[in-house]
Amino acid sequence: MERGAALPAGVAAGDVLLGLGSDGVHSNGFSLVRRVAEAAGLGWEDRAPFADAPLGAALLAPTRLYVRPVLGAIRAGGVRALAHITGGGITENLPRVLPEGLGAEVDLGAWRLPPVFAWLRAAGGIASAEMLRTFNCGIGMILVVAPDRAEAAAAQLAAAGERVVPLGRVVPGEGVAWRGTLG
């Protein structure tokens, strides 16, 4: 890391939240995943209800690595913070990169819940709040970007092969405020 280039830095109300798509469950929530599979009466070699693969293989899709595309976006300027959506989901990870007095407003309708998460929610009877606190729900990384650089950052990330979702913005307050419904 270059001296003086540490993130988060300069996060302000109005900054844009750009989500990068995940490739599945990644490495979080597997205690709950095991309980849902067991309750559904499925073994790891059974066909996944959400994919054309055995359940175990479908659930163990490798964690997506965001390093190269994100470093490119940081070098281009305007990226003020990064939140890797791991255990604790968006609910706990995004607020960790926001300074005191700032929260986030996230539009749950901005992206579609990937099939693996839709199955987990339905088969496990898991409430949306618990889904957002346990899983990445299809968003593996969130960039906090200056508003005047958000469009360019999104284009650069998309050109690098990322699925980019404008999720919302940084707002005065604390924590995450959800708009819409998870779907």
Instruction: Please report whether residue 118 resides in a domain.
Output: yes
Higher-pLDDT residue of 58, 1: 58
Instruction: Please report whether residue 119 resides in a domain.
Output: yes
Q: How confident is the model at residue 2 (pLDDT cuts 50, 70, 90)?
A: low
The whole-model pTM stands at: 0.94
> What is the mean predicted confidence (pLDDT) over 69-76?
94
The span from the first CA to the last CA of the chain, in angstroms, equals 38
Asked if the model's pLDDT at residue 59 lies above 80, the reply is yes
Instruction: Please report whether residue 53 resides in a domain.
Output: no
Instruction: Please report whether residue 69 resides in a domain.
Output: yes
What was the pLDDT predicted at 146?
98
| pLDDT tens digits for range 102-154 | 999 999 999 999 999 999 999 999 999 999 999 999 999 999 999 999 999 99
CB neighbours of residue 169 within 10 Å: 18
Provide the token pair at 139: 């968003």
What was the pLDDT predicted at 41?
97
Provide the token pair at 71: 């470093």
Number of domains in the chain: 1
Among residues of the chain, what percentage have pLDDT more than 90?
90
| pLDDT tens digits for range 86-97 | 989 999 999 999
Strand, helix or coil at 13? coil
- Look up the domain containing 146 and give its range: 16-28+62-179
Residues 8 and 80: beta-carbon distance below 8 Å: yes
Provide the token pair at 28: 């979080």
Q: For residue 133, what are the contacts with CB-CB under 8 A and spacing of at least 6?
A: 88, 89, 91, 92
Q: What is the CATH number of the domain that holds 99?
A: 3.90.650.10
Instruction: Please report whether residue 85 resides in a domain.
Output: yes
